[in-house]
Structure 1
C-alpha cells in the first residue's frame, strides 16, 4: 500500500496509527470507517474527493449522487467536497465514500489533521486516543478483518529496515557459557541480584518486557503493556536521552528465553542505529541465587554515526553500569 501522507504528527497525546501494507481490503475499509465513528466527536471538518481511481462500486453510487447534489453549481465537476461530520447526512456520505475516494482528510476543532485516507483507501492513518484505538480494532473485527494490521506509525516505519548485525543470535542467550564470534567488540559480565522466588519472578518478568532498558533511562516505543512480554521478531524504538538530545535506536528482538531457571531477551540493531551489533539481558538462577548477565557485540554504525563512535563507546560504558543495577531489589 502507499505511503502515509500528512500523518507524522501527534495530536495532544493521541498516537498515530496506520493500516499496514499487507492488510486485506475488508480490514482497510473497516479501519477507515471505524476511525470516523471513533473520532466523530473530535472531527470538525472532512474533505472527501469525489474521484476514484477505479469505477465507483455499486454500493457507493447513491452516495456519489447525493454528494454531487451538495456541490454548488459553480463547483460542479470539482474534486473535493467539504463535510461537517456532526451532520447526519454529511457523515453518512463520508462513511460511504471515504474507502473508495482517491483522498480524504479530517481535521479537529483546532485545525490539526487527525484522520487521513488517501490513494483509494491504500494509505490510511489516524491520530487515536486509547479508547478510540480499541473502538477501531472492534470495528475491524466486527467486519471480519484482522485488527493486528492496525499498527502504530512508529512501528510501521521500522518495517523496511534491515538487521545490521550479520551474526544474528550470536549472544546465545540460552547458553550458560558464551564463545563470542571474532571481529566484534565483545562484552560479558554477571552480577548477583539476590535470592528467593519473589525476586526471580520479578526479575524474569522485567527482563522480558524491556525492564533493564526502561529502568536505565530508556523509553521503549511501542510500549510493552503490563503483563506482556516482547517476542522474537518484534521491532521497537529505544529512545535514549543524552543531555538535551534524544537518540532513537531501531532494534529487533532476535531471541527470547523463558524457562524455570532462565529468562532472556536479545535484540539486534537495525539500519539507522548508532552502532551495529547485538545485546542480550539474561536472568538466571541456581541453588545459590539469582543473577543478571549482560552480553553484547558491537561494531561501528553506518553513515555519519562512524564519526562519533568513540563517544558512543563512552555512553555505552555508562549505560552498562545502569543495566547491571537495573534489576537489583530495593
Structure 2
C-alpha cells in the first residue's frame, strides 16, 4: 500500500510504530472528535484484547446493555455520533476495542478505523482535521510526531536497494564514482550574486530541482523547510495519464557557505537502483553553479525489463534538472 487519497485535501494517516499508550489514546480520540461532523455512524466491537480499564467499565456496561436490548448475538454495536450519548461511548471505548470504524455514508466510506486496542489505526483527514488532531494530542501531552501519513509509514518498511550509499559524494568538489555503475556528472552555470546563491541553495535543499522539473513530492515539505538526512519520500512523476511513484531516502545533506547539496538513494520498489545528488556551489568570484551526479543500475522485478525505457526518461529529466534552477532562480 502506498497512499490513498480521495481528493487534494484528504490523506490517510496512521500512528508510527512505538507510539506510547497515552499518545495512542489521545490520537484516536482527537481524530474521532475532528471527524465527528462528517461521521454518520460508528461501529464498535464491545470486546478488548486486554482487560477493560477500570475507568471505562461503566461505558462497557452501558454498551453491553444496549447490545442485550437489541437481542443481538454479535459483539458489534452501531452508534450514532450525532447523539452525545452515543458519541461519548465511542470516545471512551475506541482506544481499547478490538475493532471500531467510523463511516461517512454520503460517499466517503470509512474515514476512521481503530483496531487491536489502538495498535492499528488509520484516519482519513483533511489538512484542517490533521492540524486539529495534532493540537489536541500536543495539549494532552502526547507525541504529535507519531501521527504520520500512511505513505511515510510504508516507506519506513523498505530497505535501500543499493550498497554504495553516499557514492555521489555531494560534499566533494572532485568525484570518483565507484566501479560497476552507470555514472553521470554534469555542471551548468546558473549566474552569480548572493541573492541567486540564497535562492538556489534554498531550492535545492527543499526538492526544488525535482518539483520544478515536473515531480511531486509526497509528503510535501512545509514551505521554507529543508530536507534532513534519513527522511523518506515518494517522488511522483506524471507520464501522460500515468503516475510513477518512486520511493527514496535522503542519504546526505550538505550546507556550507559555498556548497548546498541533497543526495538521495533508491528504496525497494524504485524503477532503478542507485543514487542521485543535486549540488549548488559558489566559487571565489561569486559564480553559482548546479552539478548533477548520479549512479544508476537496473531496478528489480518488473522494472528490470523496462530499464532501456527508464534510461530514456532519465536523460529527459536530466535536461529538466539542469534548467530547473536557472529558470526558477531568475
Q: Distance in 2 between matches of 1:209 and 1:99?
A: 37
CA RMSD of aligned residues (A): 1.4
Q: Distance in 2 between matches of 1:310 and 1:18?
A: 37
1:185 matched residue in structure 2: 182
Length-normalised TM-score, structure 1: 0.95
Q: Distance in 1 between matches of 2:286 and 2:35?
A: 55
- After superposition, give the CA deviation of every residue in 1:76-119 in whole Å (9 maximum; x if it has no partner): 45211111111111111011100000000001141511100011
1:106 matched residue in structure 2: 102
Match of 1:227 among 224, 228, 231: 224
1:116 matched residue in structure 2: 113
SS at match of 1:160: coil
Q: Distance in 1 between matches of 2:6 and 2:300?
A: 33
2:311 matched residue in structure 1: 313
* Residue 8 of structure 1: how far off its partner (Å): 5.8
Task: Extract unaligned runs of 5+ from structure 1.
Answer: none
Match of 1:60 among 39, 56, 59: 56
Q: 1:8 to 1:326 in 2, by over 3 A?
A: closer
Match of 1:137 among 115, 134, 149: 134
Q: Distance in 2 between matches of 1:293 and 1:67?
A: 64
1:277 matched residue in structure 2: 274
Q: Distance in 1 between matches of 2:241 and 2:125?
A: 28
1:39 matched residue in structure 2: 35
* Residue 68 of structure 1: how far off its partner (Å): 1.8
Match of 2:293 among 295, 308, 315: 295
SS at match of 2:111: strand
Q: Distance in 2 between matches of 1:8 and 1:278?
A: 24
Q: Distance in 2 between matches of 1:123 and 1:84?
A: 23
Task: Extract unaligned runs of 5+ from structure 2.
Answer: none
* Residue 74 of structure 1: how far off its partner (Å): 4.5
* Residue 245 of structure 1: how far off its partner (Å): 1.7
- After superposition, give the CA deviation of every residue in 1:175-228 in whole Å (9 maximum; x if it has no partner): 111110000000000000001111111100000000000000111000011010
Write out aligned runs for 1:22-101 (5 A): 22-71=18-67, 73-101=69-97
Q: Distance in 2 between matches of 1:98 and 1:8?
A: 24
SS at match of 1:280: strand
2:254 matched residue in structure 1: 257
User: Which has the larger displacement, 222-231 or 11-20?
Assistant: 11-20
Q: Do 1:11 and 1:114's aligned partners in 2 also have CA atoms closer than 8 Å?
A: no
Match of 2:239 among 219, 239, 242: 242
Moved beyond 6 Å, runs of 4+: none
Q: Does 1:216 align with 2:208?
A: no
Q: Do 1:155 and 1:222's aligned partners in 2 also have CA atoms closer than 8 Å?
A: yes
* Residue 11 of structure 1: how far off its partner (Å): 3.6
* Residue 288 of structure 1: how far off its partner (Å): 4.3
Q: 1:129 to 1:74 in 2, by over 3 A?
A: closer
Q: Distance in 1 between matches of 2:257 and 2:121?
A: 44
Alignment length, in residue pairs?
Answer: 325
1:14 matched residue in structure 2: 10
Q: Distance in 2 between matches of 1:218 and 1:8?
A: 16
SS at match of 2:280: strand
Q: Do 2:248 and 2:265's aligned partners in 1 also have CA atoms closer than 8 Å?
A: yes
Q: Distance in 2 between matches of 1:127 and 1:193?
A: 42
